Homo-oligomer: A and B are copies of this chain.
């Protein structure tokens, strides 16, 4: 229900939402442990300090969480050695379909994961990269924490959607995150028209994500279906040295002989557009 310190009689732990750097799964997957660096470059001290003293984790992926803690340990000694940390993964349902749609079964599973917090342990919720429960699973655990009266404290770290929004120059006073586009061509074009007319009516910036191997197809679809005067921005590789953001009208995108030239299209992308 209410989170925060309510008095001296509180005995439950706190659920911390722990963001991770955005370079996970990219540097590490190509060259494991090569150039393994700490995390203070990308996370504030407060976040690193809390992460280093936690010993109980709920994780989207246990392997990534161990890799994250290995990097945290470079900057701050862990309260417990890696092998002794308690790490459980989110329920399968949370991975497959997302866990934002409440179901009694999921709710029960999420509550069970929080048992250590009820026993007084502070816990960390962590996703693969970035902020847990934002464009990532984890919200079922947060809802369960509120239901169990476990305080929830979000920690500061990178949120790629907002880095991209700021860098696009698009409207940051009204915006919506729409997730992934449908893969079917006809559904996709209908969905784009719907989002664009919403943007035209309200000034709302539309934010989309895609898995890297479909980046080129999505860029093509956006260029094809949006109106020439709509502003279209793409951020690629946020949090990586190669990061780049291009923001111009669809007309300008179309005038380029090779629109994707010079862009690292194999990196994680965020697409944004605004019609006004």
Is A139 interfacial (CB 8 A cutoff)?
A: yes
Contact assessment for B2 and A133 in the assembled complex, using a CB-CB cutoff below 8 Å: no
- Across the interface, do B165 and A239 meet the contact criterion of CB distance under 8 Å? no
Cα A172 to Cα B143 with chains together (Å): 12
Q: Which of B46, B159, B179 contacts A174 (CB 8 A)?
A: B179
In chain A, positions 48-81 with a C-beta closer than 8 Å to chain B are none
Give the number of copies in the complex: 2
A230 in contact (CB, < 8 A): no
Quick one: CB contact mask for A117-161 with B, threshold 8 Å, 1 for yes?
000000000000001111110111111111000011110111101
- A-B contacts besides A41-B44, A100-B203, A132-B166, 9 pairs, CB < 8 Å: A43-B44, A43-B156, A98-B173, A131-B166, A139-B171, A142-B247, A146-B169, A159-B159, A173-B179
Could you list 24 A-B pairs, sorted by A, with CB under 8 Å?
A: A2-B244, A2-B263, A3-B245, A3-B246, A4-B243, A6-B262, A43-B156, A100-B171, A101-B203, A131-B162, A131-B166, A133-B166, A134-B166, A135-B172, A141-B169, A142-B166, A145-B169, A146-B169, A151-B244, A154-B166, A161-B162, A174-B179, A175-B176, A176-B176
